[in-house]
Amino acid sequence: MGSQLEPLNIATDWLRGYAQTCLPSDASFEFSEDDLRDKNITLLDVRQVFRTGTVVYADKLEGPGGLWIVEGEDFDGHILTATIVVISESITVRLLDIEIEEDDRNDAA
Instruction: Kindly calculate the radius of gyration of the chain based on its CA atoms and give it in whole angstroms.
Output: 14
**What's the pLDDT score for residue 7?**
87
In degrees and rounded to multiples of 5, residue 42 shows phi and psi of -95, 165
**What's the pLDDT score for residue 108?**
52
**What's the pLDDT score for residue 107?**
52
What percent of the chain has a predicted confidence (pLDDT) above 90? Answer: 71
pLDDT of 32 over the 90 cut: yes
- Rounded Cα gap, residues 100 and 31, in angstroms: 16
Stronger pLDDT, 56 or 107, i.e. the higher one: 56
The DSSP output letter for 88 is G
Shortest CA distance to 54 belongs to which of 8, 103, 6? 8
Q: Domain segments of the chain: what residues?
A: 6-108
For the segment 43-82, what is each residue's pLDDT rounded down to a tens digit? 999 999 999 999 999 999 998 899 999 999 999 999 999 9
